[in-house]
Amino acid sequence: MAHRPVLSAEEEDAWTQLHLVAQLLPAVMDQRLRRDAGLGHYDYAVLLTLY
């Protein structure tokens, strides 16, 4: 197994917060897009790709 450096408490907290945002953001974006524009997050992603 590769050596894994130990994170400081501040670094560990930052990674934990980033992980939380990465988990919650898609659902929040989907809710707001559905409310404001009538389309979901994945629908928006497709339209953005086509643009």
Q: Per-residue pLDDT tens for 10-40?
A: 999 999 999 999 999 989 989 999 999 999 9
Exposed e or buried b per residue across 14-33, where buried means at least 16 C-beta atoms within 10 angstroms of its C-beta: eeeeeeeeeeeeeeeebeeb
6 pLDDT above the threshold of 70: yes
Token pair, residue 26, equals 């898609």
Distance from C-alpha of 47 to C-alpha of 37, rounded to nearest angstrom: 13
35 compared with 4, residue with greater pLDDT: 35
pLDDT of residue 48: 92
Question: Under a CB-based contact definition with an 8 Å cutoff, are residues 30 and 23 in contact?
Answer: no
- Has this prediction a pTM greater than 0.85? no
Contacts (Cβ under 8 Å, ≥6 apart) of 3: none
